[in-house]
Structure formats: structure tokens, C-alpha cells
Amino acid sequence: SSELTQDPAVSVALGQTVRITCQGDSLRIYYASWYQQKPGQAPVLVIYGKNNRPSGIPDRFSGSSSGNTASLTITGAQAEDEADYYCNSRDSSGNHLVFGGGTKLTVL
């Protein structure tokens, strides 16, 4: 079982805002990072650190954190944002990295 918990599925209307959350005790200590994965493709980093976007990631993607919960927000979701999203962080021991179970985002 994962030490990071994500909702299995979330949906959003085209152009609306959606928040994907990741819960875990280790998030009180470590930043989460977020990955987008489309079918048949390798994951792509979308958010890391406090709220950093790699080059090429649209600014509609943002990250935040409060207590034991990290969030990925997509402001003005586009059809191409439909994908699986995973959070990642260290576990409470600090000696393991762990992924959340993933959230399947559907853009309606």
C-alpha cells in the first residue's frame, strides 16, 4: 500500500479549474513532485518543489501544500490535460521514495 493517497478519478469541464490532491504524513516534511502520464507514454514532470514548473509546462499547472496534503491545480483545463497524474515524495523514513496511487483526470 502507498503512503501517499490520491483520489482514483477526478473529472473537470473543459476550461474549468480542477485540484488533484495527495495526502501523506511525509508531506509535512518533504515537498511533493507531480507527474503527468498519457497512455503508452513515459511520465512527464509537471510540478516540483514549492511550486516550480519545468520548461515547457504551461502555467495553468500549479502546485501548493498545506499540512499533510499537496495539491496540483490546473486552471482552465484543456482536452490535452486528460491523463493520469501521480504525486511522489519520500516516505517518513526518508530512505524510500514513494508514488501515490495516481488520479485519472477526465476532461469533459
Partner 1 sequence: EVQLVESGGGLVQPGGSLRLSCAASRFTFSSYTMNWVRQAPGKGLEWVSYISSSSSTIYYADSVKGRFTISRDNAKNSLYLQMNSLRAEDTAVYYCASSRMIAVAGTWGDYFDYWGQGTLVTVSS
Applying CB under 8 A, which residues contact partner 1? Answer: 2, 29-33, 35, 37, 42-45, 48-50, 52, 54, 84, 86, 88-90, 95-102
Given a contact cutoff of 8 angstroms between Cβ atoms, the answer to whether 35 and 89 are in contact is: no
Q: Which amino acid makes up residue 30?
A: Y
* Choice between 26 and 74, CB closer to partner 1: 26
Residue 107 C-beta: closest distance to partner 1, Å? 20
How far apart CA 25 and CA 87 sit, in angstroms, is 14
Whole-angstrom Cα distance, residue 15 to residue 32?
25
State which residue, 61 or 86, has the beta carbon closest to partner 1. Answer: 86
Identify the burial level of 55 via C-beta atoms within 10 angstroms of its C-beta, where 0-12 means exposed, 13-18 middle and 19 or more buried: exposed
| Side chain identity at residue 80, one-letter code | E
Give min distance, CB of 63 to partner 1, in A.
Answer: 11
Complex with partner 1: residue 79 or 95, whichever CB lies closer: 95
Pick 57 or 76: Cβ nearer partner 1: 57
> To the nearest whole angstrom, how small is the minimum distance from the Cβ of residue 99 to partner 1?
4
